[in-house]
Amino acid sequence: MSRKSGKARNRKETSPAARILISLVGVAMILLGLSRFVLFFVGDKAVAQVTTRRVGGSSTQYSADKRYEWSIDYTFMDKDGEIHDGHTTRRGSDMGVKVEKTVYYLAAAPFVNGLASEVEPNLGQLVLVGLGVFLLFVMNRRPKRASNPYRSAPGRSNAAAVPAPVLNDYDDSIEEVYHEVAHLYCTNCGAPLPANGRFCTNCGTPVAGR
């Protein structure tokens, strides 16, 4: 394997810690997108008290009505009379930001809440869920295994599947020299062999091919 291909393979490998972290981010994105979608259909409504605060500087890549980022804090009372807080951000002009006062929340878990414009079904929720699913798929898919050329087909032995070695002219010459030497000298102790003997007179090893 070349050094270049080894480096490319190492770049593609992801550590277990990074895989777990990115998978958790994917799960969070899916839950966030689905929770806002569910809130619109099964959540309770309440009127919130909203406070806004402009943060950050001007961003010229947006239009004048969305050039600044605003921090939005809101407080609402659930049907049991308990007070809950929420927070979000939104872009607006240098003078203010448009914020609705209707908040949706889950009665069983009021901390799951959102302003009306955030929980109404929209394309952003689908994109959020889709990105989360994509991250989970990429981080947890199993790498494809390379096919084994020596693997036998069903009902056939492995011996039939293994390709026969191909000998070139150099290999043939080596085999010829080996057999010629094996007939002249003992392959075990190296002693000279008799012309027509079947065993080495020194160590008694059988002579190959006689």
| Confidence at residue 114, expressed as pLDDT on a 0 to 100 scale | 93
Retrieve residue 22's tokens.
């990115």
Task: List, as one string, the DSSP characters of 73-108.
Answer: EEEEE-TTS-EEEEEEEEEE-SS------EEEE-SS
pLDDT digits (tens, 9 = 90+) for 80-103: 999 999 999 999 999 999 999 999
Burial (0-12, 13-18, 19+ Cβ within 10 Å), 78: middle
CB distance 45 to 102 below 8 Å: yes
pLDDT digits (tens, 9 = 90+) for 133-191: 999 998 888 766 655 554 545 555 444 444 555 545 545 555 565 555 556 667 777 77
Contacts by 76-79, CB closer than 8 A, 24 or more apart: 76/46, 76/47, 76/48, 76/49, 76/103, 76/105, 76/113, 77/46, 78/44, 78/46, 78/105, 78/107, 78/110, 79/44, 79/46, 79/107
